[in-house]
Structure formats: C-alpha cells, structure tokens
Amino acid sequence: MTASFIRSDDFAAFVTAIIEAGPVYGPVAKRSRFAFARLETPEELRLDYDVSILPPKKLFFPPAQDLLQFDEAGFRAPLEPTEKVLLGVHFYDVKAIDQTDLLFSERNYDINYMAHRETTTIVAANIQTVSSRAFFASVGADVQPKGHDAFLTAIAGGYVLETLTERGGALLKFGAFQPATDAQLKEAAAVNAAVLEQCPEKLEHGTEAIAAKVRAAFKNEAMWTAMAADCFSCGTCNTVCPTCYCFDVHDTWNVDQTSGQRTRYWDGCLTEDFAKCSLGEGACENFREERATRFRHRMMRKATYLNEKLGGPACVGCGRCSAGCTADIADPVRIINQIMAS
Amino acid sequence: MNHQCHWTEVENIFLPREATIVRSVQATPTETHFTLKMTDGQPIEYEPGQIVELSLFGYGEIPIGIASSPTRKNTFDLVVRSVGRVSGAVTALEKGQSVYVRGPLGRGFDLTKLRGQDVLIVAGGIGLCPTRSLIQYILDRRDEFKRFVLFYGAREPGLQLFTDDLTMWRTARDVEYCETVDKGDPSWSGNVGVITTLFPQVELTPETRAVICGPPIFYRFVIRELDMIGIPRENVFADLERRMKCGVGKCGHCQINDKYVCVDGPVFSFADVQGLEEAF
Ligand SMILES: Cc1cc2nc3c(=O)[nH]c(=O)nc-3n(C[C@H](O)[C@H](O)[C@H](O)COP(=O)(O)OP(=O)(O)OC[C@H]3O[C@@H](n4cnc5c(N)ncnc54)[C@H](O)[C@@H]3O)c2cc1C
Ligand code: SF4
Ligand code: SF4
Ligand code: FES
C-alpha cells in the first residue's frame, strides 16, 4: 500500500488523463440527485454527492444483460467486458460490492458478473455529504470494505490517494502525485472517522443480537402484516439496494422472428409473482402469496440469512430503500429497532 | 479482489447444450414424455433426482427433473407438463427436433443413505417423473437395496404416467407396487382414494428409508403417515419444487428461507428442512 497526495489544482488533469486512457464511471448530478455515469469531463464528477440513485452494482450486474443471443445458426454469449475505472464509490457501496463479488463467484462462478467486475478498477472516495436516511456507521460496523483498489479522501488543499492493489497503483502515473505526509494521512483518517458520527439514523444493537431476534420474530405474523400493510409490492426497495442481486430471465425475439436473446433483468422478492409456480390447468402455488411474507423475506435476507456466509449483515446502511419507498415502510432501521424493542 | 479464478478461465454457466429428441410420446392430454440424446454424442453424467434447465430459444428456460436413471446410458428422459409459455412450446415438439439443456443441476437422492436399506417411494402426480430416475436405478441395481415399495397416486386413471412401466411394475416381483386414483372411472378396478389410503395396505418398518415427491399439499399428509410408522425424519427425503430461473444458486427465486432448492436440493432430508417455516 502506498499513500500519495495530489493538489486540488492538479486533480482535474488527473481525471482527464484517466478518462483519456479508458472509460471512467463516477457520480454525476442527475436533476437534484446523483447517478453513476460515464464521465466525459472532470467537471461532471461530483465527489460531494450524498448517495447515488442506483448503486454502482449496475456496472457489473446491468439492469438488463443478455446471457446469450441466438439465431438460425446457433447461439453465443455476447460478453465483452472492457477495462474501466469506477471512481468515487462510498465505502458502504464497496462493502456491498464485496458481497455481490462473493455471491456471484461462490459455488457456481458467474462469468456474466465476474467478467465485468474483474475488469474494473475501483477507486473508493470519502463521503463528503451524508444522505438523509443513512445509517452506515451502525450496521455491520466490524466489516471493513476490501474490494477497492484505491481510496481517495478529500483534505485541505487536495486529495490523499491510498492505493491498495496493482490496479490502484497503476493510476498514479496519470497525475501529479507525490508521497503523502504523515500529517496528510492523519487528516484523511480524521475525515473518514468524522463522517461516521454524522448518520441521521442508527441501529441500536449489534449484528448478532439483531440476527437472532429478527430470525426469532419470523412467526410473528401479526407484526409482519402490520409492517407491510401499506406495501405496494413495487419492489423499489429491492431495485435500489446495493446488496440485492435477484434476477429474472426471459427470452425475446428480434423483429425478424428468427433471432433473439436470453436476458436477465433485475428482479425483486417483494414483487407479487416472485415465488409463484404454475402447476397446470390454471392452478398455481404462490409460496409467498401475502405481501407480509415477502416483506419478511427481505428483512430475513438483510439481517440474518446471509450473515454467516458474508461475515456480517446483507445491508450496508445506505438508506436507499428508506428514501425510495413511497409508503416509507422499508427503512431497515425502523423495522429492526421495532423488532428489537418488542 | 479476493477470489481465486479469472473469468477467462471459467465456463459460462448459462450456456446450454443441444439435445435431440429421439422419442416423443403424448403421455396424457397435457404431458409429453421425451427421450433425449445430447447432439454432440457426449452424454450428461447425472445422479438420480438431479434436474436440468430445459430451454427453447425465444421461449425460455424451465427446470425439469430427469425421469430416467443414469444406469440406462446415452439417452435420458424428461416428462414435460404443458402449463405455460416454455412448457407449452416444448410439449409441441416432435422427434428429430432440438431442445437445449443445462445441467445436471442440484443435488439428487443420496444413494449412500438408501443402499442396503428398505426403500419406500411415495409419488403423487407428476412427482413420479423425478422419482422414476430412482425407481429405475433401484430396479437396475436391485441387489444393492433390500425391500422396495412404491406408492403412486394419480388424480384419474387417464392421467397416469409411464403406463408401460406401471403395467410391468404391477406384476413385477422386485417391487411392491401400490397405486391409487383420487377419482375412478368405469375402466378402473383398483384403489380409489388419496395417496394416504395406500399406507394401510403394506406393513412398513420404522427402519424404512422414505422418498416422497408430489404437489405442494401432499407433503403434510404423507409425513403424518411416515411419523405414524415411526420413520425418523432424517430418513425421509423430500423432492421439492419452487419457482426457478437460474438453477445455479444466484437468481433467488427458489429460496426456502435461506436454502436454495436449485443447489441445496431439490432433494432434501426432511430433518434438514422441517425447521424452515417456508418449507411445507
Ligand atoms: C425441481 C423441479 C423439478 C421439476 N420437474 C418437472 C418435471 O419433471 N416435469 C414438468 O413438467 N415440470 C417440472 N417442474 C415444473 C416446471 O419447471 C414448470 O412447470 C415450468 O417452469 C413452467 O414454466 P412455463 O414457462 O411453461 O410456465 P409459466 O407459467 O409461463 O412460467 C414462467 C416461469 O416461471 C417459472 N416457473 C413457473 N412455474 C414453475 C414451477 N412449477 N416450478 C419451477 N419454476 C416455475 C419458470 O422459470 C417459468 O419459465 C419442475 C420444477 C422444479 C422446481
Ligand atoms: S416496502 Fe416499499 S419499496 Fe418495498 S415493495 Fe413495499 S412499497 Fe415498494
Ligand atoms: S437494505 Fe436498504 S439500507 Fe440496507 S443496503 Fe439495501 S438499500 Fe441500503
Ligand atoms: S433457481 Fe435461481 S437461485 Fe435457485
């Protein structure tokens, strides 16, 4: 690991140089909010963003991705990953990427995600603005982000760039970096520590206590029914979540009616048909028919089911689901704190 | 990143292989029995109880249990019930046409737990298809198993599957075969009633290993009978069905609490899933 410093005045030239070298994705303004998008100029980059509308997983796990294409001659995988830089990822989103990295590579290694992931250099960045529903400081606090190649922290007069991998180190040649001083490193550490004090929401208990109590609350039907009473089954809480990775797969024809594609699309366990099976003669069995059962499944996934595998909860406290839910019932902090208090 | 392999060195788990239909029989008004051969001549290696993702380009992919035993080489059987988009398109196919398969996928029957034991198989409706892989296996390696009892329940006589097999099993000495239909017709002289009505007809010991597969409601009733015989739940194996998309433990559709039917199953020991609230 090396730590370097770049002056604010030199930063735009650095971003320009990496944009010229290959595609760079970073947070940009989208009306009053922010989204990860391909950067054309350094001015577009908004490292002061609070949270992106969709998480950066969309680069590796696109909302719609062709798994194969077919025509009369046969079929093929259209996978053609390109080297790219993903710049400005907040640490909670790096933690989420660490989770999807594990989940897509374990047991059956999924090349459709992993190819895009392995060709990406991730530069994390410190959180300059805390979003209105964030609770990243109190969820899975003992799990550290690890999938990034470098970490950028804004300090007085410039940025400290800590490079952690070869890929990260390769960025240094694009800018006027000099070794960071101890004082600069200390300042960066203080900046990153300070942001942890600023979350507007907070879980009141540790990961294990939460996991045990949420799991034990499974059969509290009345509670789940009440919590989910206003749910529209829209699936927004799944779509915006950086750790959700469920998908649907279907085939479509092109207009020629001989060629087409098999595509996977983001899906969400809150949607009505997610667990529905056709049995024939019009009969079907929906294994999570009541919205309360789907609502409960999401919380079980976030707070308990995957903990052992992931080493922590499958929620990183970004607050996207809380802010995205029209009915404002999806906030894990409220749900968990209510269960813990019951 | 902290994982071992590199994407260029790994096979794409979503790419299927072509299989040719060598035989296609309309088994019931809605079910077609296919015999398939891998087009490249390389047979799939599978265990009884495993599944494949069967697909037709432009329609989609569906999970289907393999209905034949690996002891019968080169070809394999699938029975497809027409219930929707993909299955409807597949059941219309004929001999000589191609389908695509990925697999085998999932965990089949744990033969190490069945060998040397009395085995009871209880199959309801289309549940006979995946269990047929085990039935054939046992019949082909008969001396590896002790007593073999098979219960099969169909809704009506006209909906019975594998009628050639049934004719054979009715008189066979190496299987004690009992069958029932929920609703009889004038041609039917056999047992009428739900599958549990077969239990009083055969004396079963608590040492028996039981394999059960049927529609969702069937499990609750059958397990009650098995409990009454005193068969411990770790010796009961259930073949479960859930909505599936990927078949490889990623898409999330097939979950029962934190288990994935496509990779942890579809065959589960009852003891392993009975604590899961979403299982039965
Ligand atoms: C382990 C297992 C073994 C099976 N074995 C057989 C078999 O041997 N023969 C047979 O005919 N059927 C079997 N099925 C059921 C078969 O997969 C469904 O009938 C089929 O998926 C319906 O697809 P469709 O596109 O025709 O229907 P649609 O209603 O159009 O379904 C849309 C999609 O939902 C999913 N889906 C719908 N119903 C089911 C279902 N019951 N199970 C799983 N996914 C579903 C599929 O991905 C399907 O493509 C099995 C299912 C499982 C899980
Ligand atoms: S909890 Fe909210 S965001 Fe999630 S499905 Fe229900 S209404 Fe939509
Ligand atoms: S559950 Fe909500 S707060 Fe937690 S990671 Fe997902 S979107 Fe963010
Ligand atoms: S079918 Fe996709 S996870 Fe099991």
Predicted pLDDT at A182: 97
The residue out of A175, A197, A219 marking a domain boundary is: A197
Judge: B249–A108 Cβ closer than 8 Å, yes or no: yes
Same domain? For A37 and A90 the reply is: yes
Same domain? For A107 and A186 the reply is: yes
Within-domain flag for A136: yes
β partners of residue B25: B33
Distance B34 CA to ligand 1 centre (A): 16
Within-domain flag for A101: yes
Same domain? For A192 and A230 the reply is: no
Q: Indicate if the alpha-carbon torsion angle A102, A104, A109, A112 is positive or negative.
A: negative
In chain B, ranges of CATH 3.40.50.80 domains: 111-273
Same domain? For A248 and A319 the reply is: yes
β partners of residue B53: B63, B102
Q: Which CATH class is domain B111-273?
A: alpha beta
Same domain? For A115 and A256 the reply is: no
Residues of chain A contacting residue B251, judged by C-beta atoms under 8 Å apart: 246-249, 264, 267
Same domain? For A119 and A237 the reply is: no
Tokens of A34: 């922010």
Predicted pLDDT at B217: 84
Judge: A277–B3 Cβ closer than 8 Å, yes or no: no
Same domain? For A15 and A93 the reply is: yes
Distance B242 CA to ligand 4 centre (A): 9
The predicted-structure confidence for B89-103, as pLDDT tens digits, reads as follows 999 999 999 999 999
Ligand closest to A53 (CA) is 3
Rounded-to-integer distance, Cα B248 and Cα B251, Å: 8
Distance A277 CA to ligand 1 centre (A): 7
Within-domain flag for A211: yes
Predicted pLDDT at B4: 55
Ligand closest to A250 (CA) is 1
Same domain? For A158 and A255 the reply is: no
Q: Assign residue B247 a region: left if phi > 0, alpha if psi is -120 to 50, beta otherwise?
A: left
Same domain? For A127 and A157 the reply is: yes
Same domain? For A89 and A178 the reply is: yes
The predicted-structure confidence for B64-91, as pLDDT tens digits, reads as follows 999 999 998 799 999 999 999 999 999 9
Distance B183 CA to ligand 4 centre (A): 35
Tell me which residue in B14, B84, B263 faces A107 most closely, judged by beta carbons: B263
Burial class of A144 by CB neighbour count within 10 A (0 to 12, 13 to 18, 19+): exposed
The residue out of A164, A197, A230 marking a domain boundary is: A197
In terms of CA atoms, which chain B residue is nearest residue A100?
B250
Residue ranges in chain A whose pLDDT is less than 70: none
Same domain? For A279 and A160 the reply is: no
The predicted-structure confidence for B180-211, as pLDDT tens digits, reads as follows 999 999 999 999 999 999 999 999 999 999 99
Within-domain flag for A241: yes
- Residue A27 near ligand 3, beta carbon < 6 Å: no
Tokens of B255: 């979950």
In terms of CA atoms, which chain B residue is nearest residue A306?
B258
Same domain? For A140 and A7 the reply is: yes
Give A274 to chain B, closest Cα distance, Å: 6
Which superfamily is assigned to B8-105 in CATH? Translation factors (2.40.30.10)
Within-domain flag for A202: no
Which residues span the domain enclosing A64? 2-197
The predicted-structure confidence for A277-290, as pLDDT tens digits, reads as follows 998 888 899 999 99
A256: how many CB neighbours lie within 10 A of its CB? 9
SS (H, E, C) B58-110: CCEEEEEECCCCCCCCCEEEEEEECCCHHHHHHHCCCCCCEEEEEEEECECCC
The predicted-structure confidence for B38-52, as pLDDT tens digits, reads as follows 999 999 999 999 999
Within-domain flag for A268: yes
Most B-contacting residue of A104, A166, A251 (CB-CB within 10 A), to test interface: A251
The residue out of A197, A224, A246 marking a domain boundary is: A197
Rounded-to-integer distance, Cα B161 and Cα B158, Å: 9
| Count of domains forming chain A | 2
